[in-house]
Structure 1
Amino acid sequence: MIITYTSLPKFVKLILPVILLITGSMFAQAQSLLVKRISASFDHARIADVLQEVGKKGGFYFAYNDKLLPKDSLVTFTVTNQTVAGILILLFHNRYEITELKYHIVIAPPRPNLSFNNTDITNENNSYSISGLVVDERSGARLANVSVYAKQQLASTLTDEHGYFQLRFRADNPGQISLTASKLDYKDTSINFLQSVSVSSRQQPSDHDRAANNSRNVERTGAARFFISAKQRIQSLNIPDFFAKRPFQVSLTPGLSSHGLFSPQVVNKFSLNLVGGYTAGVNGLEFGGLFNINRMNSRYLQLAGVFNLVGGTVTGLQAAGVHNRALDTVKGVQFAGFINKAESQVSGLQIAALDNEAHKLKGIQIGLVNRVDTSYGASIGLVNVIGNGFYRVTLSANDLTNTNISLKTGTHNFYTDVLIGVNLAPASKLYMGGFGLGHDFMLNNKVYVSTEAAFHFVNDNGTWDSHLLQGKLLFNVQLSKNISLVAGPTFNRYINSIAFHVSGYKNINHLPKAEDVVGIPPDHTSKNWVGWEVGIAFNSVFKRSLKEVDNSDAWYLGGGATAGIGWDPQKAVYGTELFTMRDLGEHIAGTFTVGYTSFGQESYLGPQPIRLIPVKAGVRLKTGSSFFIGGEVGEAFGLFNQTAYSGIYPYEAATKPYRSLMYAVSAGFSFRRGLETSFTFEDYGLQSNYKQFALRLGYRLKLSK
């Protein structure tokens, strides 16, 4: 029903102006306390007395918490025809929040501010998507249940438990989009987005013009400063905006090119850098024996033995033996032996043995460690540091092992899980280690269901050859911000590596003892069943680190000692090493190491320890103030002879010196005064048992800078 003025009864029409006049006067009076003008003089007066006198002259009262104000502090001042608001500023210098309530002026502590972080907006056919984080401006803590809304578009959402939001709406030519965040006990904050303007002309600006500024960024990186000559950098400053196109170029090193010093101004369809080269870009194929450096874009295929560095966008495939880096976007595949990095967005795939990093991910990452500010895709690795994601440490028990710990990292949409399990029982030992993938179905902020699939290596007989395939349906109930209960069924398929039971280990498949086996046993047996798991989890988020660009170029010399345990059999391993390291900038360092490792087990030819000399080279990536991850590859030389077959007589054994490719991965802490400590895994031969898990303690000296 709609009520209009003409439809009102006659007596209501008569009294309505009076009602409006009275209520309007009351409202004006309630809103005018702070603008009342007062004259007063105070000499060494208590603040409490000043407030009482000002309130008395203005005809109102002050309301405040006794513990909030320094009411016994003494002040001296004189005001003539000054507003109440001006007097309060004189007293408190805007340290408190002042509000009016009827005949009271309320003095309260200031409300903290909200802040938007990592905010991103996309527009496709007038469909807008805005995402980001809302944090406490002072502490940086992420805030849940913050209302985020666009007033003009009447669209709103709430941040999740990690402070992340995503707001979608449609708008035709909105001009300016204003986004506001509001939360109880916080001040509102807003951020404005201006609509992008597309300008059409007969001659569109080229990619070269749009990416010209990236060349300056390329030349500021540690790798470019090391390999690019001063003459080339000066020419880039002198000729920043001129670029040419040629069908091909050949370089020995940067500067020794078929285009000479003009090479950084030329985009080529085919580029061959025998050692390395510095060009404006490639629009076809580029191959570098050691490295490729492009001022702007790389399109279609770029290959390097050690590293690729691109100042603009990578489109297609970028592959390197050690490191790929794009200062803008990757649209395709980055494949590296150790590290991939994209300063902006990855729309495609990043694969690295050690570390992948991107600002925004709309694709897949596969690596030991994956780092993303905002993810709309999937990161598959042992540790995934996701800006809009989480990490979850779970301590649990199940029907196989009574002590389990797992680390889940990623987003609710997709996360990975590293699992370790032990059955602590002297007569039924069992050890497990595995990797899993999962997805959370969010029922609400307090309850969600985790679906997971995992693969485990199992030691149920002294070796790690048995396997467990597992599916989980786990219910999570959030007890507090960081603590939750976890419980649910598991679906298991267990495969034994041998068909008899080893004494002292848990007999999962109810196998007979070795002496009770009749005939030739099968290679393995399997069992399927439904089990259970219950535990408690700690949930939190990774704090975003504000990393400073590191352009140092120092040399280091150091040494270290290792102590660990072998893969099979599990016997003591110890060793020493001597290493050199050079900072390459952007928190990356190159390493070269020569060591000595002794396994406490017998070789094929007798009761002599297995002694190895590993020679390896690699990279180290510093991910925080002191934490680092590293990877190395090289050759292991044995101080013993291995058994081999001559090929002339099938059963005639011969010996030859041991030699094999090897690799190592590590994670640890490198402190400013030179001390280092880390955990490392080293594999001295893929087809051998010469592998170790070790703790390493080292010390380094800075030689120069």
Structure 2
Amino acid sequence: MNTISKILATAAFFSLSPTETKASNHSNETPVDSLEKVESKFSFHRIGEKIGTLNFQPFSVNPEDTTIVSVQFAFVPFVSTNGTESGNVINDVSFNLLGGYSAGTRAFEMAGLFNINRGDMTGVQLAGLFNQVGGIVDGVQLAGLFNSNLHSVKGVQLAGLTNFTTGQVEGVQIAGLANFSPKSVKGVQVAGLANFSGKNTEGTQVAGLANFTAHEVKGAQVAAFNFASKVDGFQLGVFNYADSVSGIPVGLISFVRSGYHNVEIAANEVLPLNLALRTGKREFYNILFVGIRPEPSRDVTWSYGYGLGTSPRLGKKTFLNIEVSSEQLNKGNTQALNLINKLYLGGDYQVSKKLALFAGPTINFRVFDNSFDGHPDLFTYTNTRIRNEKTYSENISSQWWWGFRAGFRVF
């Protein structure tokens, strides 16, 4: 065995010796120099450089490297017919069993769970959970949970929870909870909870709780709470706010910053002191009011109520008031039905920019529980007469009479 080893070592030595010797004889190189040349020819470093030049980039995101295929089938991202190049492939049609990842979609994509596109999506995109698009959406997105888009949307987004886009929306967004766009919306937003537009809305916003448009609305907002800077259309909700409205805000309370709002101090045939707040526009406004009858009693007679009105202009300083209202009249705590419903028709004279005087007649219709003995007296300081009284089933009675209201308003 030792003999064989010696033979192999000797053969190896002589196979290299001519090169070294030749180099030494012709170029006067030292043995060390010759060995360095041999090492440079056969070094592992050079082999590593060759391997490093191989183009293996499974997660390349260079847009110039994208290609287009007609159909893709995928189980999950990268486990697909496009393999590790999925992120650089734009698919005409894509079927993803669980989820898919691609550079874009040109016609149709569906997945059991999710679709992720780095670029644009044109056509139809369906997912059990979510769709994520990094580019433009031009078509329809339908997802069980949410649609997320990092560019503009032109078409339809339908989601069980939310639709989110960082660009402009031109089309329809429908979501179980919320629709969000930091830019303008041109079309329709419908949400179970809230709609948000960071700039303008041209169309309609409908939500269960709130609509918010940072700038101008050209169209309609319908929700419990509506907010916009400028409204060219109408708002319908429990509470509406706008800096200016060219149409009519309809709600329990509507506040238009440049609109109609004042505080009223008045007297009527039942209570000598009433305080009311009017807010909205002269074309249509809301009224919140309370009243009291000061008297030496532990249980004070008082009322609270709500009304609606309109105030068309008659002249340069005169206006007509047409109002309907309903107030609960109590002695002490509210214990039984005792509603006084009013129709008021009166005149309003603008004494100055901040002060107006008003007066007019009312027709009053009272509905009350006749089985309760604690109702306050109606007329203690006026000679008003009840015109008619009726009794109905279930201890309900009604009365009507003529009355008045007069006072002043501060703007």
TM over 0.5: yes
User: Any conservation in 2 of the 1:499–1:521 contact (CA below 8 Å)?
Assistant: no
Distance verdict in 2 for CA 1:339–1:317, change over 3 Å: closer
* CA apart distance, 1:387: 4.2
Counterpart for residue 480 of structure 1: 352
Q: Report the counterpart of residue 271 of structure 1 in structure 2.
A: 142
2:293 counterpart residue number: 423
Secondary structure of 2:353 counterpart: coil
TM-score normalised per structure 2: 0.60
- Cα-to-partner distance string for 1:3-53 (whole Å, 9 max, x where unaligned): xxxxxxxxxxxxxxxxxxxxxxxxxxxxxxxxxxxxxxxxxxxxxxxxxxx
CA drift of 1:397 comes to: 1.0
Aligned to 2:174: 302
Structure 1 pair 434–291 and aligned structure 2 pair: CA distance change class (3 A):
farther
1:365 alignment partner AA: L
Instruction: Tell me the residue number matched to 1:318.
Output: 190
List aligned pairs for 1:338-417, cutoff 5 A.
338-341=210-213, 343-352=215-224, 354-368=225-239, 370-381=240-251, 383-417=253-287
Name the residue aligned to 1:515.
none
Offset, 1:538:
0.2
1:247 alignment partner AA: V
**1:451–1:293 CA distance, 2 compared to 1 (3 A):** same
Q: Cα deviation per residue 1:329-375 (whole Å; 9 max; x = unaligned)?
A: 241242241443352223123322x443241231233232x222331
Q: Does 1:465 align with 2:342?
A: no
Native 8 Å contact 1:314 1:326 kept in 2: no
Say if 1:284 and 1:300, in contact at 8 Å, map to a contact too. Answer: yes
State which of 513, 527, 534 in structure 1 corresponds to 2:406.
534
Please list every run of 5 or more consecutive structure 1 residues that lacks an aligned counterpart in the other structure.
1-241, 512-519, 540-705
- Out of 158, 171, 175, the position equivalent to 1:286 is 158
**Secondary structure of 1:462's match?**
coil
Query: 1: CA distance between counterparts of 2:336 and 2:168?
Result: 49
Which structure's CA Rg is the greater one? 2
- C-alpha spacing 1:490/1:401, structure 2 compared with 1 (3 Å): same
Letter of the 2:309 counterpart: G
Pairs aligned (count): 281
| AA partner of residue 410 (structure 2) | F
Q: How does 1:94-493 map to 2 (within 5 A)?
A: 244-250=121-127, 252=129, 257=131, 260=132, 262-272=133-143, 274-275=145-146, 277-278=148-149, 280-281=152-153, 283-293=155-165, 295-309=167-181, 311-325=183-197, 327-341=199-213, 343-352=215-224, 354-368=225-239, 370-381=240-251, 383-426=253-296, 429-460=300-331, 462-463=334-335, 465-493=337-365
Distance 2:311 2:378 in 1: 33
How far residue 467 of structure 1 moved from its aligned partner, in angstroms, is 2.2
Rounded to whole Å, the distance in 2 between the matches of 1:384 and 1:361 is 15
Question: How far is 1:471 from its partner?
Answer: 1.2
Distance apart, 1:418 and its partner CA: 1.4
Is residue 159–residue 174 contact of structure 2 (8 Å, CA) maintained in 1?
A: yes
Contact 2:231/2:247 (8 A) holds in 1: no
Work out the CA distance in 2 between the residues paired with 1:521 and 1:249: 59
Partner SS for 1:400: coil
Question: C-alpha distance in 1, partners of 2:219/2:198?
Answer: 13
Which deviations, in whole Å up to 9, do the C-alpha atoms of 1:510-556 show, x marking residues without a partner?
99xxxxxxxx98421111122101111102xxxxxxxxxxxxxxxxx
Alpha-carbon distance in structure 2 between the residues aligned to 1:271 and 1:416? 41
Task: Measure the CA separation in 1 of the matches of 2:353 and 2:161.
Answer: 52
Give the 3 Å change call, closer, same or farther, for CA 294–283 of structure 1 in structure 2: farther
CA distance in 1, matches of 2:171, 2:355: 48
SS in 2 for 1:442: coil
Whether the aligned pair in 2 keeps the contact of 1:340 and 1:351 (CA below 8 Å) is no
The Cα offsets for residues 549-585 of structure 1, whole Å up to 9 and x where unpaired, read as: xxxxxxxxxxxxxxxxxxxxxxxxxxxxxxxxxxxxx
CA gap 1:468/1:397 in 2 versus in 1, 3 angstroms? same
Checking the alignment, whether the CA contact within 8 Å between 1:249 and 1:268 is kept in structure 2 is no
Q: Is the 8 Å Cα contact of residues 251 and 273 (structure 1) preserved in structure 2?
A: yes
Instruction: Output the amino acid matched with 1:337.
Output: L
Aligned-residue CA RMSD (Å): 3.2
1:308 Cα deviation after fit:
3.1
Structure 2: gaps spanning 5 or more residues = 1-118, 387-391
User: In structure 2, do the counterparts of structure 1 residues 308 and 434 end up closer, same or farther at CA, with 3 Å as the change threshold?
Assistant: farther
Q: Distance in 1 between matches of 2:369 and 2:400?
A: 15
Structure 2 counterparts to residues 560-575 of structure 1, below 5 A: none
Cα distance in 2 for partners of 1:387, 1:270 equals: 39
CA distance in structure 1 between the aligned counterparts of 2:280 and 2:187, rounded to whole angstroms: 26
Q: CA deviation at 1:306?
A: 4.2
Cα distance change on mapping 1:314 and 1:523 into 2, 3 Å? farther
Give per-residue Cα distances to partners, 1:301-325, cap 9 Å, x unaligned: 5124245336222423422414533
Distance in 2 (CA, whole Å) between partners of 1:301 and 1:458 is 47
> Does 2:407 match 1:525?
no
Note closer, same or farther for the CA distance 1:388–1:441 as it changes in structure 2 (3 Å cut): same
CA distance in 2, matches of 1:463, 1:340: 40
Aligned partner of residue 312 in structure 2, secondary structure: strand
Q: Name the amino acid aligned to 1:376.
A: S
Contact 2:270/2:378, CA 8 A, preserved across alignment: no
Partner Cα distance (1:251, 1:373) in 2: 42
Deviation per CA, 1:287-310, whole angstroms, max 9, x where unpaired?
242453352225245124245336
Q: Secondary structure at the match of 1:425?
A: coil
Q: Which amino acid aligns with 2:190?
A: Q
- Write the distance in 2 (CA, Å) between the matches of 1:282 and 1:302: 14
The separation in 2 between residues aligned to 1:459 and 1:342, in whole angstroms, is 43
Question: 1:534/1:521 Cα in 2 relative to 1: closer, same or farther (>3 Å)?
Answer: same
Moved over 6 A (4+): 508-511
Q: State the one-letter code of the partner of 1:432.
A: S
| Kept after mapping to 2: 8 A contact 1:394/1:536 | yes
% identity of equivalent residues: 17
